Amino acid sequence: MIKNNFKKLSIIALSLAVLTFVGCSSSKDSNESIGEQMDYKITGIDPGSGQMALTEQALKDYNTNYTLQASSGAAMTQALADAYANEEPIIVTGWSPHWMFSKYDLKYLEDPKGIFGEDEHTSTVVHKGLKEKLPTAYKVLDEFYWTPEDSQSVMLEINAGGDVKEVARQWITDNADTVSKWTDGVTKVDGDEIRLAYVAWDSEIASTNVIGLVLEDMGYNVTLVQVDAGPMWTALASGDVDAIVAAWLPETHSKYFEDSKDSVEDLGPNLDGARVGLVVPTYMDIDSIEDLAK
């Protein structure tokens, strides 16, 4: 009897020891470097975005042993939310304007080599000949201009679960003065077709839906086409779509822009003060992409 109990106890003790051992080796050891804790992974977005190419370039030029994982805008923000909730290290390909900066305490890693550019803006780019084809739309698109705060307020509402169209409509109602600057003195049309392409990045979901509704109010029959970055530029160049408000220049989409330059017209910024880069929670003890060097 005693012997039996002793045996049971030993088994329990042994199991505990094994469990403790397994637990320790799988949990994040505080002696691990930040890089080890993240398995040297950067959480990226959709492969076609300009930022992914810039990040690959940065990881090389800064001589790091990090790899970039492609995902999507939505998967990236989910990974960020999960890491943030547990104060775990994470590096994401981030950009502004974006609601993530309102929701979390984040910082851009410094980029002394300037790989991600400075002073990015989002441009409105149309298929050549739009001025003659759809003069009213051309005029409104040319005038379309808002601020990072405007964009961020729309994004926040959508992120909080608002219906995209309803949020865009509400913003238009609340900002009638701004919107009238885009539409004042422009002749309305009667059901002409216009097609706008965009990528499902939060900032572009916001801008494209707002301008889409404004064009609808001007009498257009508007189709929004959601595609990847490469196909968005190809569709614009071929004339399959008439316009985009999602062109990130001068750096992020420079390659796409160069390739389609002959068949498009850049109407200039619709938002200044945009930025792309590597973004981390402020609780992380790194400040520069240089800190990721081997």
| Interaction site with ligand PBE (CB under 6 A) | 45, 49-51, 95, 201, 203-204, 229, 248, 252-253, 276
Q: Which is nearer to ligand PBE, 217 or 228 (CB)?
A: 228
Dihedral sign for Cα 33, 34, 35, 41, please.
positive
Closest to ligand PBE by CB, 45 or 137:
45
Contacting residues for 253 by C-beta, under 8 A, at least 6 apart: 50, 229, 233, 247
Query: Of the two residues 120 and 142, which places its CB atom closer to ligand PBE in the complex?
Result: 120
Nearest approach in angstroms of CB 200 to ligand PBE is 10
Q: For ligand PBE, give the closer residue by CB, 54 or 213.
A: 54
Of the two residues 95 and 171, which places its CB atom closer to ligand PBE in the complex?
Answer: 95
Half-sphere exposure of 91 (CA within 13 A, CB side): 27
Residue nearest to ligand PBE (CB): 51
* Radius of gyration, alpha carbons of the chain: 24
Q: How far is CA 252 from CA 49, 114, 208, 286, in A?
A: 8, 12, 18, 24
Least distance between ligand PBE and beta carbon 144 (Å): 16
**In angstroms, what is the minimal distance from the CB of 280 to ligand PBE?**
16
Looking at beta carbons only, is 134 or 229 nearer to ligand PBE? 229
Kindly state the smallest distance separating residue 147's Cβ from ligand PBE, in Å. Answer: 16
Q: How far is the CB of 150 from ligand PBE (least distance, A)?
A: 16
Q: How far is the CB of 159 from ligand PBE (least distance, A)?
A: 15
Minimum Å distance from CB 254 to ligand PBE? 10
Q: Which is nearer to ligand PBE, 218 or 246 (CB)?
A: 246
